Amino acid sequence: MSACYELAEHHLGRQFPRPHITFRKSGKNAGTAFLNVNRINFHPIIYTSNQEIFINEVVPHEVSHLLVWQCFGKVKPHGKEWQAMMSQVFNCEPNVTHRLDTSGTTKNVIQYQCQCGVVELGIRRHNKVLKGAQYRCRRCERILVYVEPNETNAA
């Protein structure tokens, strides 16, 4: 983390306050930047099982969010400012999502169906569905339908 800030300070010619770091489980998110409070949360299980990639990709990704917030204010989360920070300051591909194994991070997943096939939602989103919320598939954009545990997953 310190290396990222030192690199950014050298490249951008200014000092930045160091964020508060937490390690809490957060679904399949490897990291989350909380802009208003200058905090980054890292997923401890994903970190433990993918340390090198985590340090080289996830840390710069989240630090870039905080730096962009401090330099430019409210902009698109993965917009041109963030992409430039990732590529020009940290020499990283500005990938929006990580490619890390998250299979050991969520135990309570509920299966839903869409045109594409089965989609798993976490227990928090499932509980929101039970209260009336609807979620759409990111690929086909159809509303996800709950699959009863004893039903077949035919599309």
Q: Which residues are catalytic?
A: 62
Is residue 64 within 8 Å of 86, Cβ to Cβ?
yes
Nearest to 78 by CA among 99, 57, 54, 95: 95
Tokens at residue 101, please? 């194994």
Angle at 89 between CA 84 and CA 95, to 5 degrees: 55
Whether 4 contacts 90, CB under 8 Å: yes
Amino acid 102 reads T
Closest CA to 4 of 54, 46, 48: 54
Cβ–Cβ under 8 Å, residues 105 and 43: yes
**Of 34, 27, 32, residue with least CA distance to 124:** 27
